[in-house]
Structure 1
Amino acid sequence: MLRLHRISDDGWVVVEHISDHNHPLSETYGEKKHWPSHHHLDKYTKDLIRMLRQNNIGITKLYTILGNFFGSMENVPATKRCLKTLCQNINREQAEDDIKKTLDLIRELRKSDPGFMLSVDTDEDGRIKTLMWTNSRSRMQYEHFGDVVSFDTTFKTNMYDMPFGLFVGVNNHFQTVLFGGVLMTDEKIDSFRWVFREFASLMGGKEPSTVLTDQCRAMEVAIAEEWKDSIHCWCKWHVLKRVKECLGTKYTSIKEFRDKFHMILNEMLTIEEFELNWASLVKEFGLQNNSFLAQIYETRHKWVKSYFKGVFCARMTSTQQSESANHMLKNILSPACTLRQFLDQYMKMQYIRDEDENYE
């Protein structure tokens, strides 16, 4: 220990000196990184970490990237524990004044794209209940390709745990195109009514001819009330997922049943063919009293191909397009991202989709 005192002529004087260490020396090379004096990250490394975290790079992968950056893992001037603490501090920084930062980003987006539109639904206390946005590119694409729209709200990756809904379609190359995004605080009928009404308003009043969703009852009621002339179909992928869950071994173990079931769904061209083969399948495998099959049979006009004759679906018989867009967004968004980050990353994803179209 060394103790210094200030003296009158702005100098220093040593008043106490203890030459012994107050802790033993590190016995192993690996210990040195754990002393505060031996881990320091410069401004540029911190900026790199911040950028990687914004794109949903996990702590372990981040640590290995820094290992490449510094030449080897031994040369990284921080431990994984230090990185974790730094990332927590970065998250806190980004969460501060999130609404103000989001509004600043919206101003920037409007400046670069005058066609960027935002719509907000608030509750009785003036708090944001639902937030929807779209831009000029999406609105132009909707004008051309908005006959069939897929809507899905299975995505929940943001610090407010708000369900994220995505309106998507396909273009003339059968690529996914994004029409708009919406963040919701709940999934009630009134919220969905506002979403569908506002989406049509942002798109110039044009309602889609066909809408594909999952089996959400609130969504079904809202579409029936707001888009009376649109044909509402269920995503076949979601129905088949439930078939697998509810029929269990009957579906997974009996190949003959599975093959016949899929043949009835995909290859029966007329309603009469479907009805005849469905009755035969149920009788053959003794499933007349199966409540789940009875339930999906009652709603067959929503998801069976035979009932879609004359209905334009643009090859979108499932919400696969929005599922793939959700998957892409999940890859670049961290689970606790802020509203500003969410909007920023959504715009990046839209740019990537546009690039794919430009290539075609």
Structure 2
Amino acid sequence: MDESHQLIMLKCAKANIGLVRAFRIFKELVGSFEEVGCTSKDFKNLSYTMNSYADGVDAQLLLDRFLSKRETNECFKCEYLVDETHKVKSLFWSDVVAVQNYSLFGDVVFFDATYTTNRYDMIFLHLPARIIMVGVLHLEQDQDPALKITVENVMPNTRHRFCMWHIMMKLAQKLSNSLREDAELKSEIHSVVWSELDEPADFERKWTEVLDQYELTDNTWLANMFSLRSYWIPAYFRDLSMSGLFRTTSLSESENSFFRRYLNRNSNLAAFYIHFESAMEAQ
């Protein structure tokens, strides 16, 4: 392809149009497959070869780009980890705007690892302060113990809080079949958990009363959640300004919705970054 033809393909990629659809659009613009030097059958083979090749080199292309940026711009930060076969398993980067935003608006940071993974099973983890993380984070539970330790070690002057919404979403599956559909029990537990007015002693008394009433004192999951109460119950954050954000999912869900317009889980890393830059330009 000449330079103008390549530009068409690049613009398709930035618009989140995949290789096959992009090439068909290209064919319509130039007239036929023959005009671009291949038949329909050739194109199918070419498409498969290009996708397979891209899977092998896209990580290196992206790393080369990041490392080049880091050499020419001291404000650009990037780090990556590889596995035992030297394949990239996680990648972190932040630009000058992200750093400035964090310094100005980093009082409350949301760490949402629930967004969909891509073709390599890597989670796209974006912080609303525009610090971006992509990596394989095995967060099987929202109160991930490794993350808890990391936050305390790396950011010792912060208060780490678990997401109440995700914890309470698990409540039903942690109860017995006979209690799972008990609306009164759910109402009482929610009333105890979500109260912003109680002091710690009030919460502990009410929690114990509910568990005694429904004979749940032997429930392992509830006992564990109670032991971690200072990380998610509002009564233990009354001294801390939450910037008006009590339920911590709304902002991250809004960001998820925004990025979903630009990102395709089938994209390789190189295409992913093109789409990501398009999203940042739009934002």
* Cα distance between partner residues in 2 of 1:93 and 1:247: 49
In the alignment, structure 1 residue 163 sits paired with structure 2 residue 163? no
Matched with 2:252 is 322
In the alignment, structure 1 residue 216 sits paired with structure 2 residue 144? yes
Matched with 1:349 is 279
CA contact (8 A) 2:80 2:88 kept: yes
Post-superposition Cα deviations, 1:183-207, rounded to whole Å, max 9, x if no partner, equal 335659xxxxxxxxxxxxxxxxxxx
Instruction: Pick closer, same or farther for the CA change 1:219–1:104 going to 2, 3 Å.
Output: closer
Of 53, 61, 78 in structure 2, the residue corresponding to residue 118 of structure 1 is 78
Matched with 1:275 is 204
* Cα distance between partner residues in 2 of 1:50 and 1:88: 18
CA contact (8 A) 1:157 1:330 kept: no
* Cα distance between partner residues in 2 of 1:316 and 1:252: 26
* Cα distance between partner residues in 2 of 1:321 and 1:91: 35
Of 141, 145, 148 in structure 1, the residue corresponding to residue 108 of structure 2 is 148
CA contact (8 A) 1:329 1:349 kept: yes
Matched with 1:254 is 182
* Cα distance between partner residues in 2 of 1:215 and 1:96: 34
CA contact (8 A) 1:155 1:163 kept: yes
Equivalent residue of 2:110, what SS? strand
Matched with 1:207 is none
Post-superposition Cα deviations, 1:123-181, rounded to whole Å, max 9, x if no partner, equal 68865453211111111111111121122333453343223333x2xxxxxxx442x12
Of 232, 237, 240 in structure 2, the residue corresponding to residue 311 of structure 1 is 240
* Cα distance between partner residues in 2 of 1:183 and 1:273: 41
CA contact (8 A) 1:55 1:334 kept: no
Amino acid across the alignment from 1:333: L
CA contact (8 A) 2:90 2:135 kept: yes
Equivalent residue of 1:325, what SS? helix
* Cα distance between partner residues in 2 of 1:346 and 1:89: 25
The offset of 1:48, in angstroms, is 7.7
Matched with 1:294 is 223
Q: TM-score, normalised by structure 1?
A: 0.58
* Cα distance between partner residues in 2 of 1:273 and 1:306: 8
For structure 1, the 5+ residue unaligned runs are 1-43, 71-80, 169-175, 189-212, 354-360
Matched with 1:30 is none
If each structure's strand is expressed as a fraction of its own residues, which one has the higher value? 1
CA contact (8 A) 1:155 1:326 kept: yes
* Cα distance between partner residues in 2 of 1:85 and 1:254: 58
The offset of 1:297, in angstroms, is 1.2
Matched with 1:25 is none
How many correspondences in the alignment?
Answer: 265
* Cα distance between partner residues in 2 of 1:137 and 1:155: 23
Larger RCO, structures 1/2 (Cα 8 Å, 6+ apart) = 2
Matched with 1:183 is 134
Amino acid across the alignment from 1:349: A
The offset of 1:245, in angstroms, is 2.0
Instruction: Pick closer, same or farther for the CA change 1:112–1:328 going to 2, 3 Å.
Output: farther
CA contact (8 A) 1:54 1:334 kept: no
* Cα distance between partner residues in 2 of 1:334 and 1:289: 45
Instruction: Pick closer, same or farther for the CA change 1:234–1:186 going to 2, 3 Å.
Output: closer
Q: TM-score, normalised by structure 2?
A: 0.72
The offset of 1:268, in angstroms, is 4.9
Equivalent residue of 1:148, what SS? coil
* Cα distance between partner residues in 2 of 1:177 and 1:222: 19
* Cα distance between partner residues in 1 of 2:248 and 2:178: 24
* RMSD value, Cα: 4.2
CA contact (8 A) 1:264 1:278 kept: yes
The offset of 1:90, in angstroms, is 5.7
CA contact (8 A) 2:112 2:252 kept: yes
CA contact (8 A) 1:329 1:345 kept: no
- Which protein is bigger by CA-based radius of gyration? 1
* Cα distance between partner residues in 2 of 1:351 and 1:214: 31
* Cα distance between partner residues in 2 of 1:260 and 1:243: 12
Post-superposition Cα deviations, 1:201-227, rounded to whole Å, max 9, x if no partner, equal xxxxxxxxxxxx921111112222222
Of 232, 242, 246 in structure 1, the residue corresponding to residue 160 of structure 2 is 232
Amino acid across the alignment from 1:275: E
CA contact (8 A) 1:235 1:303 kept: yes
* Cα distance between partner residues in 1 of 2:246 and 2:72: 33
The offset of 1:296, in angstroms, is 1.0
Amino acid across the alignment from 1:279: T
